[in-house]
Structure 1
């Protein structure tokens, strides 16, 4: 499922942007919902899901520890 979503963690992707995370979230929500573009009455739920998945992705990537790397609190 969602084979075209690229890996967003180091070392596969050294610099991940908010746009990268949102694009992956959008693709995931489209796949799960079955809608490429939801009807107006579903738009709010669709947008909320994209925002939630984007936030979860951000939290996950911030929490992962990549072997051989130390966390940089300044980053």
Structure 2
């Protein structure tokens, strides 16, 4: 779906930064919404969505168990 979103789990990436998680969330929200930059009246909803996706990504990565690691 979003070719510019990189895999953020080990062994592909060992130390995931907050910036990487936020960038992936931003790309996802851009793809789903169809907006690269939302209009001013949609900016708050867009930013909340990025925050929610980033939080869900953090939770997912913290919960994954990678075999052989």
> TM-score interval w.r.t. the shorter chain?
over 0.9
Matched residue, 2:45: 45
* Distance (Å, rounded) in 1 between the aligned partners of 2:25 and 2:39: 18
TM-score for both structures, normalised by structure 1: 0.90
TM-score for both structures, normalised by structure 2: 0.97
Q: Which has the higher helix share?
A: 2
Aligned residues: 69
Q: Deviations over 1:21-73 (max 9, x none)?
A: 0000000000000000000000000000000000000000000000023xxxx
* Distance (Å, rounded) in 2 between the aligned partners of 1:20 and 1:4: 11
Could you list the runs of 4 or more consecutive aligned residues of structure 1 that deviate by over 6 angstroms after TM superposition? none
Q: Deviations over 1:7-28 (max 9, x none)?
A: 0000001110010000000000
**Tell me, which stretches of 5 or more residues in structure 2 are unaligned?**
none
**Tell me, which stretches of 5 or more residues in structure 1 are unaligned?**
70-75
State which structure, 1 or 2, has the greater radius of gyration over its C-alpha atoms. 1
Matched residue, 1:73: none
